[in-house]
Amino acid sequence: MGESVSLEREGAVAVLTFDAPPLNLFDAAMIAALQAAVADVAADPPRGLLVRAEGRVVSGGVDVHLFDGLTPRAAAELWTELLAMIHTVEELPFPTVFAAHALCLTAAFELSLACDLLLAAQSARFGLVETVVGLTPAMGGTQRLAERAGPARARELVMTGALYDAATLERWNVVNRVLADDGFDEAARSFARQLAEGPTRAHAATKAIVRAQVEGGVREADARVPELAGGLFATEDLKGAVRSFLEHGPGHATYEGR
């Protein structure tokens, strides 16, 4: 997998960590390690994924050395590979959480937008700054910003290449929650654990319904609900939770992801 990315299991949660000081740049080694880590998670699913970083930044973005001399065909092949990885992350059948404790640029920001939930420390800043090299974001960031914040905000973030603080992006529905800098990492881990220890199959159904709405509208999502929600009645988690509710009231059920 490589030294720049680690993948560890903490109970129900897989924790994927960037650790390539000083800037956690997405160079060839980082990209290869990240692709391998995502493939491992998909092949051996946990019940939740937390993506985080070590160091003073989440990531300074893509190593621009990758672009020097790159042909249009080679660039298209690179973005096709990276978008395939983004799609794999989006399609994981369990909750995915990205934790941004500091500056988070370009590829890392785009990866965060492929996760279900984005947590940010108060001092975190975000940017799609590809304009500095005459590029547009190519790992899906523009369209996923449009999905979260609307097309006008997406154009603003990308065309200005400016940096935006966590509070602003929370108001724009890009960041889900802003947490205190102090204790941020443990708070993010705790949040991811809470989701991972929940009804995993129900979370997968929720993700599928939301995706259906995004891609096809409310009626498309409605068409998927009977099968997706109905199928949950075959799961041990639902059966156990119903029995727990009837015998002990709400809030006492435990889940095993089955």
Residues 6+ apart with CB under 8 A from 40: 1, 7
User: Which pLDDT value is given to residue 3?
Assistant: 83
Taking residues 174-179, report their average pLDDT: 98
What's the chain's average pLDDT?
96
Q: What is the pLDDT of residues 152-171, one digit of tens each?
A: 999 999 999 999 999 999 99
pLDDT band at 48 (very low <50, low <70, confident <90, very high): very high
Q: Which of 83, 119, 94, 82 is nearest to 208 (CA)?
A: 94
Q: How far apart (Å, rounded) are the C-alpha atoms in residues 89 and 111?
A: 8
Buried/exposed code over 243-253 (b: 16+ C-beta within 10 A; e: otherwise): eeeeeeeeeeb
Model confidence band, residue 2 (pLDDT cutoffs 50, 70, 90): low
Q: Mind listing the pLDDT tens digit for each residue in 65-123?
A: 999 999 999 999 999 999 999 999 999 999 999 999 999 999 999 999 999 999 999 99
Over residues 233-243, the mean pLDDT reads: 97
Q: What's the pTM value of the predicted model, to 2 decimals?
A: 0.95
Question: To the nearest whole percent, how much of the chain has pLDDT over 70?
Answer: 99
Cβ-based neighbours of 49, under 8 Å, separated by 6 or more: 13, 14, 15, 16, 41, 92, 94, 95, 96, 97, 115, 192
> What does the pLDDT average to over 189-216?
97
* Region 238-243 average pLDDT: 97
Cite the DSSP H helix spans in the chain: 28-43, 72-90, 106-114, 141-149, 151-160, 166-171, 184-196, 200-216, 218-231, 236-248
pLDDT greater than 80 at residue 10: yes
Q: Residue 257 pLDDT more than 60? A: yes
pLDDT at 1 > cutoff 60: no
Q: Is the pLDDT of residue 61 over 90?
A: yes
> Three-state DSSP class for 127?
strand
